[in-house]
């Protein structure tokens, strides 16, 4: 008997990466008008920006994404008093179906946000920093990359884009649009994300969600890849960096606003997570954007 091998249908093929950025912008920062022969994905991880492009001019805020078409003239401006975090990925792709994302922002679901974060992490295992230098003309690969990471980055980006297109064409089942879970470990995660700037204890979480410390800690680590309090500290530092870039508050005020018990503990945690003290972080941000 002769077997027939079915060939894969290629509905979308990403052929290359031009840039991979995670920007921590300062208020009122503005890019120059630019255009290039590849798609450019722009996603606001936190804050808001205004976009001025041929197919869309307007606001792009928390969790919203836009994809500029090849050769589309575009620029972005940060708002007064807002220091946004923005992901930008430039990529070559043979699918014109992506053009629908150039005319209006798309708000990502939690599952889509996780996929985008995962592909960004994969990209950072392939390409060396810096990731926050505007107008980078060439991303350099690391000297040593994990086995298959380059191909995996391509696959993850294609998967993200295909599922984005599915959502746009309403192929998803109604269950995919259901309200986010409020109980179980997902409920704990939601609570932590909403109250990270307040005092949170394991006892408090166990009482609120009817569990015990061992189960709570184990399930959170499995679901989110980190301990609860390390996860909380990352949320606090992320918010602190945005407040620092806005330039409205002293470091001591920022430390208290994001939930740290003392400025000394804040500085220690900040340096461990960011890799440099708060003052050095601000100097490096200003230097990169000035360049």
Q: 226-279, pLDDT tens digit by residue?
A: 999 999 999 999 999 999 998 888 999 999 999 998 999 999 999 999 999 999
Task: Reduce the DSSP state of residue 45 to 3 states and report it.
Answer: strand
Pull the structure tokens for residue 57: 């001019």
Question: Where in the sequence of the chain do the CATH 1.10.10.60 domains occur?
Answer: 184-290
Confidence of residue 182 (pLDDT cuts 50, 70, 90): low
Q: Give which of 98, 105, 25 is closest to 58, Cα–Cα.
A: 105
pLDDT of residue 171: 40
- Does the pLDDT of residue 172 top 60, yes or no? no
CATH topology of domain 184-290: Arc Repressor Mutant, subunit A (1.10.10)
Average pLDDT, integer, range 205-225 = 91
Average pLDDT, integer, range 13-32 = 94
Average pLDDT, integer, range 193-204 = 92
Q: Which residues of 85-117 are buried (b: 16+ CB within 10 A; e: fewer)?
A: bbbbbbbebebebbeebbeebbebbeebeebbe
Average pLDDT, integer, range 40-53 = 95
Tell if the pTM clears 0.75, that is, is over it: yes
Confidence of residue 77 (pLDDT cuts 50, 70, 90): very high
- Does the pLDDT of residue 2 top 90, yes or no? no
Q: Kindly list the distances between the CA atom of residue 200 and the CA atoms of 23, 172, 191, 238, 260, in Å, as whole numbers in the listed order.
A: 30, 37, 10, 17, 11
pLDDT of residue 183: 66
Under 8 Å CB-to-CB from 12, ≥6 apart: which residues? 93, 94, 95, 97, 98, 158, 161, 162, 165
- Does the pLDDT of residue 173 top 50, yes or no? no
Q: What is d(CA 40, CA 20) in angstroms, rounded to the nearest whole number?
A: 10
Question: Where in the sequence of the chain do the CATH 2.60.120.280 domains occur?
Answer: 14-175
- Does the pLDDT of residue 289 top 80, yes or no? no
Pull the structure tokens for residue 63: 């969790």
Strand order in the sheet with 48-53: 57-61, 48-53, 74-78
pLDDT of residue 175: 42
Average pLDDT, integer, range 206-217 = 91
Average pLDDT, integer, range 136-147 = 92
pLDDT of residue 142: 95
Task: Quote the mean pLDDT of the chain.
Answer: 90
- Does the pLDDT of residue 177 top 60, yes or no? no
The hierarchical CATH code for the domain 14-175 is 2.60.120.280
- Does the pLDDT of residue 168 top 90, yes or no? no
């Amino acid at each position: 008997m002769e077997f027939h091998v079915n060939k894969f249908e290629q509905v979308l093929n990403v052929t290359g990466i031009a840039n991979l950025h995670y920007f921590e912008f300062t208020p009122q920062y503005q890019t120059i008008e630019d255009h290039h022969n590849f798609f450019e994905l722009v996603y606001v991880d936190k804050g808001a920006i205004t976009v001025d492009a041929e197919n869309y001019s307007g606001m792009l805020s928390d969790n919203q994404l836009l994809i500029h078409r090849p050769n589309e003239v575009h620029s972005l401006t940060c708002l007064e008093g807002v220091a946004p975090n923005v992901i930008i990925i430039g990529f070559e792709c043979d699918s014109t179906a992506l053009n629908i994302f150039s005319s209006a922002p798309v708000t990502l679901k939690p599952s889509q946000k996780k996929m985008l974060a995962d592909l960004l992490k994969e990209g950072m295992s392939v390409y060396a920093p810096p990731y926050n230098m505007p107008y980078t003309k060439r991303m350099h690969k690391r000297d040593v990359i994990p086995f298959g990471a380059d191909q995996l980055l391509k696959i993850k980006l294609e998967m993200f884009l295909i599922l984005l297109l599915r959502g746009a064409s309403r192929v998803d089942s109604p269950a995919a649009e259901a309200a986010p879970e409020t109980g179980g470990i997902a409920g704990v995660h939601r609570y932590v994300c909403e109250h990270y700037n307040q005092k949170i204890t394991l006892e408090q979480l166990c009482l609120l969600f009817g569990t015990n410390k061992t189960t709570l800690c184990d399930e959170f680590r499995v679901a989110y890849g980190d301990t609860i309090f390390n996860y909380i500290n990352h949320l606090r530092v992320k918010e602190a960096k945005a407040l620092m870039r806005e330039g409205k508050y002293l470091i001591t005020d920022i430390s208290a606003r994001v939930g740290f018990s003392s400025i000394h503990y804040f500085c220690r945690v900040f340096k461990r997570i960011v890799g440099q003290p708060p003052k050095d972080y601000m100097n490096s941000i200003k230097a990169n954007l000035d360049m």
